[in-house]
Structure formats: structure tokens, C-alpha cells
A and B are shown apart, each in its own frame.
Chain A
Amino acid sequence: MKQENKPNKANWDFKQILLVGSKLFVIAAISATLLSLIYAVTEPAKQENILAEEKETLSVLIASGDIGPKEAVNSMQFKQVISRWIVREAGNPVAVVLQLAGNGYGGPLSLMAGYKLDGELINAKLMVNTETPGLGKKAETDAYMNKFRGKGGTGSGYPLPVNKEMLAEQQQGSSAGSTTVFQVKRPANFAEWLFGKPKGNVDTVTGATITFTAVSGALEAGSDYVKQTWGGAE
């Protein structure tokens, strides 16, 4: 059997090629059929899960007010804004939740972000993503969004950080406000120099630059979209 199967050019007649090819075709056809059948069953359930998660996130992002229906956004200028929910209190819009898209390290990612009407970010959450566990995936945590919360408004406060230099500056600034003066602490000994953390909150800046760029870029586009649409008026 083994001898016959050795690829000897003279043995490769048309019949044999047809047999091998049709067997491969059968396997491919069966798995393709199976996959499409399972997709047809699982896809509606998956979409339902995504909708349920959106609903849950909306209630986390916005504490009060009536959340309106989901509206699709087709903005030529802000391509990252996919859809929006307008939040009203006593009939007047007070805030807006946007669904934003970005490009992370592992492919496309989507965010949901709540803004005040002057573009200030209330809170945001990373939804569907394929970022690296232990690195970019950390952006899913609530603490990650601390960098952005309360920023980006037209009034006082910081702009949304869009690169790590800005982030480091803002963190230095905020620690200067709370303590006395921001100062780089020199390592006390060799072991600390070798193994110690960089001092002055800057350690939170390290890691996952591409994820950060994707998230901050999307959040900034959202903020600009809100500013342009509602003119920064309260």
C-alpha cells in the first residue's frame, strides 16, 4: 500500500487525481455545510447576547435620565462613530452615548462611551475586542478608563489624552496638585535601580501602545462629534 502511494510521476493518471480530488472535495463540502448550518443556529443567539450586553452597559454608563432608542450615525467626518443613544431629562437632551469603532492590536474593537453635551467623557467601556490577554485586554477594566474620565470638555479640565506623552504630563500635573511638587525619586540602591518601578505614577503609562492609541483615538473622535453636533452648549 505504502509502495503504491509513493508519488511516482508515471502513476499519476487522471483517474487517481480525480479520486483524490473528489475525496478532498467531499471533506470540504461536508465541513462547509456543517459550518453554515451551525452558523445559522448560533448567529441569532449571539446577536441577542450582544444586544443584552449593550443594554446592560448603557445602564452602567448613564446613571439617570431616559435613554432613547439606538440611532445609526452616518457621518463622513467622524467615521469612527457608528451609532448613538440620546439621553433626555424632562424632554431635553443632557447626554449622549456613542458606539465607537477603532483598530486595536488584534483587529477591530468597539467601545461604548457616554458624553456630556460639551464633549466631556462621563465613562466608557471596551466591548468587542481581540486584544492580547494581560496587555491590551487590560483596557476592558474599569480602572483603565480613569485616564479618560471627566476629560475632553470645552470648559475647564484636561483634554482627552491621545498619546502617552500627554498622559504622562497630565499625571504629573495631577500629582503636583495633590502633593507638593512632582519629583523623580532617585533609586536608593542598586537593587531598586534594577528591579524598582519607575516613580511618580508613570508606570501606568507602560504597555499596549496600539490598544491605547485605538481607544484614545476613538474616544477623541466621539468627543469631537458631540461638540460639533451639539455646539458645546449645555
Chain B
Amino acid sequence: MIKELTKGIFKENPLFIIVLGLCPALAVSTEVINAIGMGAGVIFVLLGSNVFISLLRNFIPEKVRIPCYVIVIASFVTIVDMVMGAWLPVLSRNLGIYIPLIVVNCIILGRAEAFANKNTVGRSVMDAIGMGIGFTLSLLLIAAVREIFGNGTITLFPIPFLQFDGIIRIPGLSSMPARVLGLSSGALFVMGYFKALFNWLEQKQKESAANSLVEPVIQEQ
């Protein structure tokens, strides 16, 4: 059970290992605050869609499962969008842009197809939380690198009573940043280097497992 929670963070990290959800990830990783917003949205929607699809897994016919997932996911996202717009207007203004982006995030459909339709509700919830946190952490990593080196700042929430405008400026870097990292090509550079790093870490882990003369590790499903 706890394995379902932790696997999303490194072993089956959605962004760096499975490489799902790249498009929204690269688009919104310009500022740290965007990564937090997108991450929160993905965790919430992933949780909802995994629960519903897991509940309906015995009702949905296998031949039309993809249209059924799309209906469930799109309805859930639309409901979240409408409810937020009506009763949480401030949150909606800040997060609203991420909500439509989540519909096209492959992680949601990917987890529905690969996990939620074969597993119990409890395991699906764990899977959603783990995958969501893994996605958020990876997104934060990309956004932090891009914003720190590309703009010399870290953008967080403004806190009015501390006189904090929500932007940490890094001395030295904010006057001469490497601007390319903030642009779309920079997103691909950063993603590429992180993917290479994760490949190397994965490789090393496999080698050390093979060298330790224990039974060869069989990749878990």
C-alpha cells in the first residue's frame, strides 16, 4: 500500500521516468508559483478521476473504456472549474488557467488506464497522491532551475503583513540572468538534463543491484 504512494516520487516518476504530462509541465514551469498551482490542480483532479474510475471499473465495458475515461475526467475538471469560479473567485483567478490544461494532461488518463481500472479505490487513492506529489516535485525542480538561473528570482505567494511581495531576488543573478532558460527552448534544455540525470541514476541503481550477487531484480509491474 505504502509502495503505491512512494513509487511516484522516484521509481515511477511521471515526468522524468514515464515522461507523461510534458506539454503542460514545460509550459507552466516559468515561475515557481506556477509549478505549485499546476501541481495542486493535478493532485486534486488525479485523486478525483482515479476514485471515480476505480469505482466504475466493473461497470465500464472494456471496448469503450477510453471514451468513458474521457467523459469522467472532463466532467470532473469542468465541475471543479465551475465550483471554483462561483464560490472561490480569488483561487479561481490564480489557478483557473491550469484547470483547462489539466484535461489534456496525459498523467490523468495514463493513471486511469494503467492503474485505477485494475485496482481498488484505496490503492488508486494512494497511486493518485504519490503520482501527484511526484509530478509536483519534478515540476518544482524544473521551475526552480529555470526561474533562478533564467530570471534570478523565486516567485512565491505575496504576504502583505510581512511586507513581502512574493518575489525572492537572488543578488548577482537577477541583474544578469541566463535568459534562454526562461524561454521555451530553455524548458527543453532543463528537461533534457534532468532526464539524463534520472537515466544515469536508474542505470546506477540497476548495476549495483546486479553486482550485489543477489537474485537479479525483476522489474515490478
Contacts and interface: CB of A to CB of B under 8 A. Distances in A.
B34 interface: yes
B20 to A, nearest CB: 21
Contacts of A106: 97
A20 B56 CA distance: 14
Interface in A30-76: 31, 34-35, 38-39, 41-43, 45-46, 49, 53
B83 interface: yes
Contacts of B60: 23, 27
Interface string B176-189: 11110000000000
A42 B179 CA distance: 42
Contacts of B18: none
B61 A195 contact: no
Interface residues of A, number: 35
A24 B89 contact: no
12 contacts: A24-B61, A24-B64, A24-B68, A28-B71, A34-B79, A35-B79, A42-B86, A49-B89, A130-B96, A133-B37, A195-B176, A196-B176
Contacts, number: 83
Contacts of A28: 71
B82 to A, nearest CB: 4
Nearest to A28: B71
A49 B89 CA distance: 7
Contact of B34 (A31, A134, A191, A195): A134
Nearest to B178: A195
A35 B78 contact: yes
A133 B34 contact: yes
A182 to B, nearest CB: 21
A137 interface: yes
Interface residues of B, number: 35
A192 B176 contact: yes
A102 to B, nearest CB: 17
Nearest to B76: A31
Given A5-B62, A130-B96, A133-B31, 19 more contacts: A23-B60, A23-B64, A24-B68, A28-B71, A31-B71, A34-B79, A42-B83, A42-B85, A42-B87, A49-B86, A106-B97, A130-B97, A131-B97, A132-B97, A133-B98, A134-B31, A192-B176, A195-B176, A195-B179
Interface-centre pick from A35, A42, A191, A197 (highest chain B CB count, 10 A): A42
Nearest to B37: A133
A233 interface: no
Interface-centre pick from B59, B78, B82 (highest chain A CB count, 10 A): B82
